[in-house]
Chain A
Amino acid sequence: MPPLPPFDFNSPISWAGQAIVILLTGVGVPRDLAGAIATLLGVIVLASYGLTITLLLIWAERKLVGRLQDRLGPNRVGPYGLLQTIADAFKLFTKEDITPTGADVVVYNLAPLLSVVSVLLIWAVIPFASTVFGTNINVGVIYVVGVGGLGTLAIMMAGWSSNNKYALLGAFRTAAQLISYEVPMILALLVPVLLARSMGMNDIVKGQTVWYIVLAPIAGLIFFITSMAEVGRAPFDLLEAESEIVAGFHIEYTGLKFGMFFVGEFLHAFTISALAATLFFGGWRGPWTDQVPLLGVVYFFVKTAFAFFVVIWVRGSMPRIRIDHMLAFNWKFLTPVSLAAVVVTAVVDKLTPSSEWTRAGALFLANVILGAVVVWILAATARRQRMQEEGSRQEAKHAGPAQGAEAHAGAH
């Protein structure tokens, strides 16, 4: 057996991969198979990491939302209530597993699985540090979008196969919400791709000598809003709006199958935070990462935790948006603004000299101007609407009470 290579502190993952391959070929496993086993082990480690961290995330979220709502949050099981999620998981284990009458059994059971898998798959392309990542495929950004489509599919499958009208309504809302919000999200994702001249996640991080949130604040904000809508949590939780359609697409799910949707949602919220950190906040970039690449993991998680805090903060402070407002906001506001952001970024980026700081300054200025124009258009539209309404109200006053009511109704 050849000796193991010396432990490489800077890239522990590739060292572990090499070590496993050497160990396995030493005991007579063919080289192809050994490589496949090493890859499989990596996948298992990454997936288990994702699912384990969810236990902590659920605790953190409940604690934070508790504080936001002037409550204490979980504080009975374990120190600071840390073990509450484990107790809840055990409770879910013991629940009866119900399959509703008339359900499409195979589809019904596949949906929760697909929902978790679609989120876990995203972690394959997120770089934790310059040397610690699952894979740096050159189509990373499109891969993220494609995997997100599988999540949409899972929710539609769940809603349809449950044989329940509320679940089906939830699935319809999915189609309206998730597919619509994909449009501005993809457009916003185009901006970092344009700036980095690559779709690979690690290349995008490497390109961020200046964080892209400075170069493209509008695209960053749009990405953050739309990906929150993709997760489907407050203020965009129309898929499972308790007060309207009971629990939406997962109304019929019990026990661990419900748990999988639950875990999938929390992990998805953390995943979009990680994506925002990677694409717009410089990912693993920070002081001294050139000397000690592993330090990037710390920076990455600090940035992700901050983004996750904002997600929870929004969830804790915003009421649910109405469905027509949700769609109007997407199609009449986010989509045109993201289109404009892509065009402005492309033109300004091409016109400015390649020096990093002039480019950053010009792009930032362009974004500020674009933002001002957007706000000005919004204000003008709102003013025109207000004038119209006031005009019709005054007409109503002159026309007398009976006709006035009619004119008023007509104005709306």
Chain B
Amino acid sequence: MPPLQIVFLVASAATLVSGLLVVVSRNLIHAALWLIVTLFMVAVLFVLLEAGFLATVQVVLYIGAIAIMIIFAVMLTRRVMKDPGPQTNKQWWLAALVSLAIFAALAAILFQVPWTVTNASVSPDSLTDLGKSLVDTNRFVLPFEVASVLLIAALIGSIVIAGGRD
């Protein structure tokens, strides 16, 4: 087995195991920390796919911002050091059924799509290409601008909420 494949198998196994630990951990902070491990392992998978930009953005956004915000929010909640109570309620079988159905549907789609496999290497300038495609009117400029308007709206909204009286 080539070394890259071993790394891939280890990384994907770690992703799955830590992802499972996120939901079964009794301690909220531990769950958040396992979430960070999961996200980091996804970044490793990106590196294996030679998508360095996606990998670093994954670390910056998901670990550097989102996961730390989650941990901060969890720290502010009370009783975090104590027993968080039962992890399931009466509807657990329904949730399990729905997630199994979604998993089956996704798996079916994944097996039906004819994936083309090539040996072509990733162009070294893919980052420039990505940047240009975001401002190209024929490609992704509209989704890009819509996303930025959404973010600005969220920013203004948070300022209005935090601004208070006047």
Q: Which of A47-55, A81-89, A171-179, A205-213 contacts B (4 or more CB under 8 A)?
A: A171-179
B residues near A149, Cβ cutoff 8 Å: 59-60, 63-65, 68
B58 CB to nearest A CB, Å: 8
How many of chain B's residues touch chain A, expressed as a range?
Answer: 20 to 34
Question: B11 interface residue, CB < 8 Å from A?
Answer: no
A residues near B52, Cβ cutoff 8 Å: 137-139
B62 CB to nearest A CB, Å: 10
A residues near B27, Cβ cutoff 8 Å: 104
Binary interface profile of A, 379-392, with partner B (CB < 8 Å = 1, else 0)? 00000000000000
Cβ contact within 8 Å between B75 and A160: yes
Q: How many angstroms between the C-alpha atoms of A115 and B118 in the bound complex?
A: 41
B residues near A138, Cβ cutoff 8 Å: 52-53, 124, 127
Question: A152 interface residue, CB < 8 Å from B?
Answer: yes
Give A197's nearest chain B residue, CB to CB. Answer: B128
Question: B103 interface residue, CB < 8 Å from A?
Answer: no
Q: How many angstroms between the C-alpha atoms of A199 and B60 in the bound complex?
A: 15
A residues near B24, Cβ cutoff 8 Å: none
- Residue in A32, A137, A146, A153 whose beta carbon sits within 8 Å of that of B60 in the complex: A146
How many of chain A's residues touch chain B, expressed as a range?
Answer: 20 to 34
Question: B31 interface residue, CB < 8 Å from A?
Answer: no
- Residue in A32, A102, A142 whose beta carbon sits within 8 Å of that of B3 in the complex: A32
Binary interface profile of B, 1-38, with partner A (CB < 8 Å = 1, else 0)? 01100000000000000000000000101100100100
Question: B57 interface residue, CB < 8 Å from A?
Answer: yes
- Residue in B3, B36, B75 whose beta carbon sits within 8 Å of that of A168 in the complex: B75
Cβ contact within 8 Å between A139 and B127: yes
B residues near A143, Cβ cutoff 8 Å: 56
Q: How many angstroms between the C-alpha atoms of A163 and B68 in the bound complex?
A: 19
- Residue in B30, B63, B81, B127 whose beta carbon sits within 8 Å of that of A153 in the complex: B63
Which residues of A123-158 have CB atoms within 8 Å of chain B's CB atoms? Answer: 137-139, 142-143, 145-150, 152-153, 156-157
Cβ contact within 8 Å between B75 and A199: no
Counting residue pairs across A and B whose Cβ atoms lie within 8 Å, the total is 71
**Given known A-B contacts A36-B3, A142-B56, A146-B56, A156 and B71 have beta carbons under 8 A apart:** yes
Question: B144 interface residue, CB < 8 Å from A?
Answer: no
Cβ contact within 8 Å between B127 and A199: yes
Give A200's nearest chain B residue, CB to CB. Answer: B127
B residues near A137, Cβ cutoff 8 Å: 52
A residues near B67, Cβ cutoff 8 Å: 153
B125 CB to nearest A CB, Å: 8
Q: How many angstroms between the C-alpha atoms of A168 and B64 in the bound complex?
A: 19
Question: A72 interface residue, CB < 8 Å from B?
Answer: no
Give B73's nearest chain A residue, CB to CB. Answer: A175
Question: A107 interface residue, CB < 8 Å from B?
Answer: yes
- Residue in B64, B75, B81 whose beta carbon sits within 8 Å of that of A182 in the complex: B64
A residues near B60, Cβ cutoff 8 Å: 142, 145-146, 149
A388 CB to nearest B CB, Å: 15
A residues near B140, Cβ cutoff 8 Å: none
Binary interface profile of B, 69-98, with partner A (CB < 8 Å = 1, else 0)? 101100100000100000000000000000
- Residue in A36, A139, A145, A179 whose beta carbon sits within 8 Å of that of B68 in the complex: A179
B55 CB to nearest A CB, Å: 8
Q: How many angstroms between the C-alpha atoms of A147 and B59 in the bound complex?
A: 8
23 contacts between A and B (CB under 8 A): A33-B3, A104-B27, A104-B29, A104-B30, A107-B33, A137-B52, A138-B127, A139-B52, A139-B56, A139-B127, A145-B64, A146-B56, A146-B60, A147-B59, A149-B63, A150-B63, A153-B63, A153-B67, A153-B68, A153-B71, A156-B71, A160-B75, A179-B65
B interface, CB within 8 angstroms of A: 2-3, 27, 29-30, 33, 36, 52-53, 56-57, 59-60, 63-65, 67-69, 71-72, 75, 81, 124, 127
